[in-house]
């Protein structure tokens, strides 16, 4: 991420699909969060997943207010990966109804966006460090 490289140019339609999304989900334990994060990155559904420290979530479940410790995942991906990522999380998550929320990244630094595009648009197993 720290190297100087030219930023590729894309046509308007391509830019829409290469727009960065930040996807949020939570897990009940750090081990589950880290395992899910690694699976998502290995599958090239995201270029980076951050697991934030334990937090408290307060929510309604089956008519009752619940209070639980959870770990928030910040998943950096592209709009074109949304459907596959959403389905992957739903199929690999321990919750019956996992939080899966995508937020458009309105402004992203060009070097970071370029790195994200490189990681997520090339064939899996190709080195992105050179």
The 10s digit of each residue's pLDDT in 5-49 is: 444 555 544 455 579 999 999 999 999 999 999 999 999 999 999
- Within 20-89, strands assigned E span 20-27, 48-51, 55-61, 64-78
Q: d(Cα 99, Cα 1) in Å, to the nearest integer?
A: 29
pLDDT of 62: 95
> How does DSSP classify residue 49?
E
Please indicate, yes or no, whether the overall pTM of this predicted structure exceeds 0.85. no
| Domains, the chain, with CATH or none | 19-121 (3.30.70.120)
């Amino acid at each position: 991420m720290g190297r100087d490289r030219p930023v590729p140019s894309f046509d308007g339609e391509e830019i829409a699909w290469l727009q960065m999304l930040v996807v949020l989900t939570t897990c009940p334990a750090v081990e589950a969060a880290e395992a899910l994060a690694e699976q998502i990155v290995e599958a090239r559904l995201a270029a980076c997943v951050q697991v934030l420290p334990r937090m408290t979530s307060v929510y309604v479940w089956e008519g009752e207010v619940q209070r639980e410790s959870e770990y928030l995942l910040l998943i950096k991906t592209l709009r074109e990966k949304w459907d596959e990522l959403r389905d992957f999380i739903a199929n690999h998550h321990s919750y019956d109804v996992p939080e899966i929320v995508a937020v458009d990244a309105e402004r992203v630094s060009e070097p970071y966006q370029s790195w994200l595009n490189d990681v997520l648009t090339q064939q899996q197993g190709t080195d992105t460090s050179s």
